[in-house]
Amino acid sequence: MADKAKHQTDFEKTLKLYLKQAREKLNGDLAGTREAIRLIAADKTRSFIEMTDRGLSKEERELLKTLIMTSMRQSFCYGYGIGKFEGNTNERVYL
């Protein structure tokens, strides 16, 4: 049982390291990806306004855009981290 707990702790530490690397890449080498995420979030915000036929104040639009960008960046980082983990271990990771 202690071995399983140690494995879980190692997995969590490794995944946190890969998440940190992904954030650094997104803020550095992958600045174009970060910009694409911003553009997609702005487009999704406009689509939301059109679909709901509801106007949003500037603050509400920015909040929605920020929420979408944050979610997309987090998804990117988890995808990067899990992909890297799977590549190093040759095992599938299920969350």
Domain boundaries, the chain: 29-89
Check residue 82 and give its pLDDT: 87
Check residue 6 and give its pLDDT: 65
Between CA 65 and CA 71, with CA 66 as vertex, the angle to 5 degrees is 100
* Residue 94 pLDDT > 90: no
Count CB neighbours of 10 within 10 A: 10
Cβ contacts of residue 59 below 8 Å, gap of 6+? none
Contact 58, 42 (CB under 8 A): no
Distance CA 13, CA 24 (A): 17
- Rounded to two decimals, the pTM is 0.75
Count CB neighbours of 30 within 10 A: 16
| Mean pLDDT value of segment 40-66 | 90
* Residue 42 pLDDT > 70: yes
